[in-house]
Structure 1
């Protein structure tokens, strides 16, 4: 596979979403990613619902472009084989709960003993130190503890609500893939590896701070949080029309003037509550309520035409069955279709980043469990008899039939 990371090898010890999506991003960009899974069932995401041909959509969408090797890491021979693979690698990624990977014998010290300049990467939920570090964690818990659920609910006094997608998991995956690339760049300059640590909690807090924590930015002003920040979350920016929903954003003087013209309300421009950017933020609930009243008078399509004529940022709210067929998505060439040998024809998004000098190739589909065990272990120096012995003893497995 081509791409800017061609020639780099990644050992993927992760499961479910945050780790697998991070390493799939690297695979999409050309890295050789070897996913090590337990012989009995493999990654948990292989077994969730939404399946065809023995494959779940979740596994397909977070593990394409990888090779699958099965090793029982609770057996010394499985750990030895994993370390042999680490000798050939540039990056190791794991998302076990803090402390578990060391007990398995694949912690940073053990891996660095066989490859001193490796980029060792750990993903954690709440962090690596403190009382919460070893607590079990799932996406909703991070949304709760980070304040994201409060932001999503509106004002801090309103009922908290979850973002209806596992944003912390996926955001952490993106952060991790970027951090790994930065570490590889540093190694190219210094010759030294490092330990990259990324927590979901840190990632979401940093994500929120850039736009949702204005009232807590200036130290000493915490007792009087910024009213605009509170209002920012209080009213939705999705408006109902006569036949659906749409998003409209009019923050600047020019777009506010455009919106006023599009809805035929020139009086808004004379209203002192909306005379400046700061005033419009201070009076955001009133401004958005007035906007909603006007947009209920026509269809989404008509508003799109009228607002666009005045250069007001706007977009229809699309349902999931509409998104991938939208003309702009088609213009971006976002969607790809692949033939999977077991799951059949599948639809996915291509990697979002495009590289002019090192374009990425077509990704290979997500692998069957153990599909590459023999080949990868042979490349690591195991002869056929040694691999056969590992398989016979249940330490590793060859490609397995996938349960429906």
Structure 2
């Protein structure tokens, strides 16, 4: 059974993570995603690996088709225009101004395809004092306040989250925006230009709880400071666990398990607001008791008392965790050039139009001939495009390569 986006064609002019993960999510949901790469391939193919495939590239580009085009050549730009004329969505994350210089700006392509959903992903926005900056994830973590949220308690030194959270969060927002724009189009709204910046996304992402001190105008500095408390990782005799207690019932359960019933009516901890105001002291006191016994001892008792808790898993343990196994979360597939791989299945489960991993990531230009033929190019035209180096067919078995 096809996925919910079956019949939707996406032209993917993105590189690295924010754009490719967005379009990969669309591919998982059934869209035909055509990845347009330069003849040398997406830069992610050369990040932390060798050959055409790296873990980063595969985990951002599975299930797509690849066409290799040199966009510095007018003939290649002609191919893009023909692709766009029959597409539903175009996603690009070039630096601001690049698409205009190529003649692939939104107004130009709108003239070819009024129903096109044109998506532009940028680092900080298309205009403004930082618009010309070269931007990667740490830049956005620093500008958005996220690095400050992660600051070391003892020194106040900002710290980065050790995963490219800004890129991936923007990718999810972009995929959702594509679907919303497609829905609006089906209701008669026509095509439109959707713009996202990683900076906008991450400021919105941290806002609900991490910016409470700066939310109410005139009362800046008051409220909960997320950097003023230890995190909720507790060391046990043999590892680490996490424990949370937001509601009164959860706090009563935790106090009982820890053998501290007097904490229930302690003025410092009697209400959620008081527990939040005295979070640093509360977490420190809980931690002093947790470290006196083993993880399993605490987890069994906390679960019995209906207190939120879990072991802190090493990355090497995640795939074998019983809940992960029960959810059938990790799938395996054969990736030419790398071997047998683990990949997480699409997170959203559709009852009637299931999403699914559409296959391995493509070689550079693996589908060049196939896509050009679908666009109506004859064999001699395809050969001429490749002879001029405007297009390239590659992969393990290039067809008709000049």
- Does TM-score exceed 0.5, indicating one fold? yes
Cα distance in 2 for residues equivalent to 1:36 and 1:396: 10
What is the distance in 2 between the residues matched to 1:16 and 1:80? 24
Instruction: Determine the structure 1 residue equivalent to 2:199.
Output: 201
Q: In structure 2, the residue corresponding to 1:324 is in which secondary structure?
A: helix
The CA deviation at 1:392 is 1.0
The answer as to whether partners of 1:156 and 1:230 remain within 8 angstroms in 2 is no
- The whole-number CA distance in structure 2 between the counterparts of 1:333 and 1:377 is 37
After the TM superposition, which residues 262-341 of structure 1 pair with which residues of structure 2 at under 5 Å, given as runs? 262-341=257-336
1:387 to 370, 379, 382: 382
**Partner residue, 2:44:** 45
Quick one: structure 1 residues 231 and 119, their matched pair in 2 at CA, closer, same or farther if it must change by over 3 Å?
A: closer
Partner residue, 1:258: 253
Correspondence for 2:34 = 34
1:17 counterpart residue number: 17
Distance in structure 2 (CA, Å) of the matches to 1:120 and 1:159: 40
Corresponding residue for 2:66?
A: 68
User: How far off is 1:225 after superposition?
Assistant: 2.5
- 1:93-104 to structure 2, matched below 5 A, reads 93-104=91-102
Q: 1:254 Cα shift? A: 0.6
Q: Could you tell me the TM-score, scaled by structure 2's length?
A: 0.96
Does residue 1:153 correspond to 2:151, yes or no? Answer: yes
Whole-angstrom distance in 2 between the partners of 1:109 and 1:231: 44
Match of 1:225 in 2: 222
TM-score, with length taken from structure 1: 0.95
1:70-219 matches, within 5 Å, as 70-153=68-151, 158-219=156-217
CA distance, structure 1, for counterparts of residue 115 and residue 29 of structure 2: 21
Q: Which residue, 57, 63, 70 being the options, matches 2:55?
A: 57
Q: What residue ranges of structure 2 are gaps of 5+ in the alignment?
A: 398-402
Kept in 2: contact 1:36–1:70 (CA 8 A): yes
Once the 2 structures are TM-superposed, how far is the Cα of residue 381 of structure 1 from its aligned partner? 1.3
Q: Look up the SS of the partner of 2:150 in the other structure.
A: helix
Change (3 A) 1:232 1:271: farther
Residue 233 of structure 1 and its aligned partner are, at CA, apart by 5.2
1:251-281 Cα shifts (integer Å, max 9, x gaps): 1111111011111111212311011111111
**2-side partners of 1:62 and 1:119: how far apart?**
21
| Maintained 8 Å contact 1:8/1:89 | yes
Q: Deviations over 1:203-225 (max 9, x none)?
A: 00000111211111111212x32
Does the CA-based 8 Å contact 1:247-1:314 persist in structure 2?
yes
CA contact (8 A) 2:69 2:76 kept: yes
Q: Which residue of 2 aligns with 1:237?
A: 232
Conservation of the 8 A alpha-carbon contact between 1:153 and 1:159: yes
Secondary structure at the residue paired with 1:161? coil
Contact 1:10–1:91 under 8 Å retained in 2: yes
What displacement does 1:116 show?
1.1
CA contact (8 A) 1:246 1:316 kept: yes
- Give the total of aligned pairs: 397
Shift of 1:316: 0.5
